[in-house]
Structure 1
Amino acid sequence: MRMKKLSAALAMVMAAPFAHAISAVALPANAPADRSFGTLEQVHAFYDAMPTGVTVTETGRIFVNFPRWGDNVPFTVGEIRDGKVVAYPNAAINRENLNDPSDGLISVQSVVADGRGRVWLLDTAAPGFADPKPKGAKLIAVDLVTNQIVKRLVFPDNVMLPSTYVNDMRFDFRTGPEGTVYLTDSSLRGPGAIIVMDIASGSAMRRLSGVPATSVDPTFVPVVEGLPLTVESPDGKRKPLGVASDGIALSADGKTLYFTPLSSRHLYSVATALLRDANFSEQQLTAAVQDLGEKGASDGLEADAAGAIYAGDYEHNAIRKRLPDGQWQTLVHDPRLLWPDTLSIGPDGYLYFIANQLHRQAAFRSGQDQRQKPYSLMRLKIDAAPAPTR
């Protein structure tokens, strides 16, 4: 009998908070909300294929690239001229040569002006992130006066793995007969690495392959627009996107290389002299890498002439700046800055970058392509000059 009374009493207590209906109204449009800051300018709107890379030359010419990831890509490298994007250096070079993978452009991931009158095109030879085609991954330099190819460097077999996806690059003409180029291998399914190539000979070394600084952070779960960024694994389950070393920047004096995995919030650095020294063992090199702490999750990096480093922050729709003393500041935060990709400093004191909604692709949204055109080339005034390459 006592148990029945106790149960009835408990029922009354539990029901008491719900004795009266709680009224509510729709949240007012003018309720306090996330605030944007910083002034973004749109340089170009893209209504066709999705771009990933941009570079601005010392004379102000702008080049972009469109990797062949599934969109209709009539040309993989273009120049913005008079408000339009045209194939560069011409339409013929932007077609794959089925008989010679080292010839035509297959799928360009990055374009970089070298400050010496050339623009370099980085061909992954891996459309759709497939295994790179043998002898297809390459660097092509185009003279900006003649718009003709003046250098072609095919990556040697000793630096290429079946999983290699060459991603971004930085040049230093203070070392080697014709200079040195540093590149990231941002593999999705193999070890990341830094590739060091001598421009004169085309010889290259694979450094820091598979070490923590060039690898996916196993604890990292990216969250963009409030949703975890996941992909379907072979077993049908979804897992966080895992991309190895991606963004790269070279200090103004050429002595330090900065790099970051896309799937990480940490920035790393290492002395370039050690990277170039074949006698410096991988174990020694790994020990020499510095973890500079968290910077946010970035796709692209860039350096200026005054010693600052710039990084996208794709989880927070932001661009951040690392001062020479190591302190970080956020330059712009804007909900329209959807996935800031490659960064490039122009001769006009602006930082240029692509916002391409990469995270809204079908692979990350359970088969639904949620990208909304146009994609944007944006810029932000920073009153800084690009880091010199010589």
Structure 2
Amino acid sequence: MTYSRRTFLKVLAVLCAGRIPFTHAVTLKPVLQVAVQSPWMANQVAITRSGRLFLGLPRYSAEYATPSLARQRADGSLQPFPGNRWNTWQPGDDGSEAFVYLNSVHVFTDESVWCVDQGSLSAGIFGEQFARPGPGAQKIVQLDAGSGEIIRILRFDETILPPGAQMNDLRFHGSRIYISDSGLGGIIIHDLKNGLTLRRLSGMPVVKASDKAPPAMLAHVKGGKTFHPPNSDMIEITADGTWLYWAAPTGPLYRVQTEYLWNEKLSDTALAGHVELVYDNNFSGGCAMDSEGNIYFSETETHNITLWSPHGKSAVLVSDPRLVRPDGSFISPDRKLWIPVKQPVVSTSDTGKAKRVFNIYSIDLPNNYEGIPLGSAVSGS
């Protein structure tokens, strides 16, 4: 088929005006880059506006010693932070003024570092005697990002943390903190200004893990033990503070308007009536949210980072076999998504010895991906 010059120019003008879509446009996937290498397993990463990088280092193994929190030096190396008794705890020590098991490390608009210490260790690795938090060991700790000074420690009584409760992660909006309980299942809310603390939706179906678990997780269950995935684990809040989202690793993703959470006149049953099920995520170790309300899931079995939009669309942002057990990701002020993985990379050192390192990856977020506008970091202000 041939076209006259006049017809060709008419079609070209319509295309340039955007009236006919380019059906063969290609969306380029972001490139996964090794950003940091750690000698210790990291499951959390957080970065201040000034570029200070922190890693959360959980005690997953009795074989390999680890501090709990590390900060990156100017030369790129990592050092325990704040570098005193907080990072030298050993099983059997008093855990009230030391890090026992950090499960979350985050930085918000105040530029301080917030840590969730579950205060207990895995019974299967360290023994039943260390599987229950000692007095004051389960806590939230706020540190100065520069000096390492302890600014604040939050502890809650058994009305907020009954036996079996396990604080997992936290997010901020203004003076209000939102904390997930992955043990019994529940949402804890605390106002720093007036001290009000509430436990909501405790043990209800909307905060419980579903019964699905990936075969890769079940394959590690030995001796006839039953795999019990954590309950409400991942938690995010929109930039305007209107919606709180949460999910167990198994999914699904739920949300509720925060005005209902803080309404003490609403019973948990009434509150559950306002909860919405919005997405059935794949098994994920962690997530992050941007200022457009998009959630980035770190999928455990697929090696994917999957993007979910509040408008209902989802897309695989990056897929890479190096993403083995990706965990708590973080969006930095320069619009990079940082992703720690819990699988070591083994290489040979200059001396010929095997060297284990854990990679923290990053990707630059495009402004738009497969028709989904992508935002910037949520600061919690």
Band the TM-score falls in, shorter-chain normalisation: 0.7 to 0.9
1:87 to 69, 80, 83: 80
Say how many residue pairs are matched.
326
Does the residue aligned with 1:341 lie in a helix, a strand or coil? coil
Checking the alignment, whether the CA contact within 8 Å between 2:94 and 2:134 is kept in structure 1 is no
Is residue 244 from structure 1 mapped to residue 244 from structure 2 by the alignment? Answer: no
In structure 2, the partner of 1:346 is: 332
Is residue 318 from structure 1 mapped to residue 304 from structure 2 by the alignment? Answer: yes
Is residue 192 from structure 1 mapped to residue 193 from structure 2 by the alignment? Answer: no
In structure 1, the partner of 2:20 is: none
In structure 2, the partner of 1:258 is: 245
In structure 2, the partner of 1:207 is: 200
| TM norm structure 2 | 0.79
Hey, what's the Cα distance between the residues in 1 that align with 2:225 and 2:66?
32
Q: 1:277 to 1:202 in 2, by over 3 A?
A: same
Hey, what's the Cα distance between the residues in 2 that align with 1:285 and 1:230?
37
| TM norm structure 1 | 0.78
Residue 52 of structure 1, CA deviation? 1.2
Hey, what's the Cα distance between the residues in 2 that align with 1:357 and 1:194?
30
Hey, what's the Cα distance between the residues in 2 that align with 1:74 and 1:93?
12
Matches within 5 A, 1:163-174: 163-173=164-174
Deviations 1:323-379 (A, max 9, x none): 231211110011110011001100111001111139xxxxxxxxxxxxx94321111
Is residue 222 from structure 1 mapped to residue 223 from structure 2 by the alignment? Answer: no
Residue 100 of structure 1, CA deviation? 5.5
Residue 44 of structure 1, CA deviation? 1.5
Residue 388 of structure 1, CA deviation? 3.2
Deviations 1:148-204 (A, max 9, x none): 11111112221213322211110111xxxxx111111112xxx21111122245552
Identity, % of aligned pairs?
28
Residue 229 of structure 1, CA deviation? 4.5
Q: 1:278 to 1:125 in 2, by over 3 A?
A: same
Hey, what's the Cα distance between the residues in 2 that align with 1:307 and 1:99?
42
Does the residue aligned with 1:283 lie in a helix, a strand or coil? helix
Checking the alignment, whether the CA contact within 8 Å between 1:58 and 1:347 is kept in structure 2 is yes
Does the residue aligned with 1:301 lie in a helix, a strand or coil? strand
1:114 to 108, 111, 120: 108
1:299 to 285, 297, 317: 285
Matches within 5 A, 1:147-162: 147-162=148-163
Q: 1:258 to 1:339 in 2, by over 3 A?
A: same
Deviations 1:286-338 (A, max 9, x none): 11111112122222121111222211111210111122312111100111100
Q: Give the letter for the 1:250 counterpart.
A: I
Checking the alignment, whether the CA contact within 8 Å between 2:57 and 2:66 is kept in structure 1 is no
Q: 1:279 to 1:199 in 2, by over 3 A?
A: same
Hey, what's the Cα distance between the residues in 2 that align with 1:70 and 1:281?
41
In structure 1, the partner of 2:176 is: 180
Residue 59 of structure 1, CA deviation? 1.7
Unaligned runs of 5+ in 2: 1-27, 124-130, 345-354, 367-374
Q: Which range moved further: 120-129 or 347-356?
A: 120-129
Q: Give the letter for the 1:209 counterpart.
A: S
In structure 2, the partner of 1:75 is: 67
2:361 to 374, 378, 381: 378
Hey, what's the Cα distance between the residues in 1 that align with 2:49 and 2:215?
36
Q: Give the letter for the 1:206 counterpart.
A: R
